[in-house]
Amino acid sequence: MSINDYLLKDETVHIVNIVSSRYENFTLDDCISMVPSLIIYVEKFNELTGKNKRDLVVEILKLIIDKTDLPGDDELIDPLLKQFIPKVIDTLIEVDKRNIKLNKKRKCIWEILRKLRICKK
């Protein structure tokens, strides 16, 4: 099955229609907040590779963007948002794989100086 076949599945079409009708004023925040839910949705398609699952999420979001009304000029905003979506998904995947660490503990200056044996504090 191709990604387009998954986009035409009744369940996918239903998700797109529900999301599209639920948001009167769809925003960038709404788009980004639904990415984790869509990732969970496509995870059930075991026959797809990781890249195909990512591409499917991107395509679902593009459909939702096309069907919803974003604030401002859709001819200007929609292409920008569609261009932004793949990078957001890639970043979330990197965080999930722990290639990007959030909330890293930062060392205080005294700890650094102590390790360098400059300060005995």
- What is the per-residue pLDDT across 62-116, written as a single tens digit (0 to 9) for each? 998 888 877 777 788 888 888 988 988 888 888 777 766 656 665 566 566 666 6
Q: Is residue 22 part of a domain?
A: yes
Q: Is residue 120 part of a domain?
A: no
Report d(CA 86, CA 80) in Å as an integer.
11
Q: Which domain holds residue 65?
A: 3-115
Reported confidence tier of residue 59, pLDDT bands at 50, 70, 90 = very high
Q: Is residue 92 part of a domain?
A: yes
Q: Is residue 12 part of a domain?
A: yes
| Range 10-17 average pLDDT | 88
Q: Is residue 100 part of a domain?
A: yes
Q: Is residue 37 part of a domain?
A: yes
Listing DSSP states for 42-79 in one string gives HHT-TTS-HHHHHHHHHHHHHHHHHHS--SS-HHHHHH
The token pair that represents 94 in the structure block: 């990197």
Residue in the block written with tokens 């919803």: 68
Q: Is it the case that residue 57 has pLDDT exceeding 90?
A: yes
Task: Report if pTM > 0.75.
Answer: no
| Number of separate domains in the chain | 1
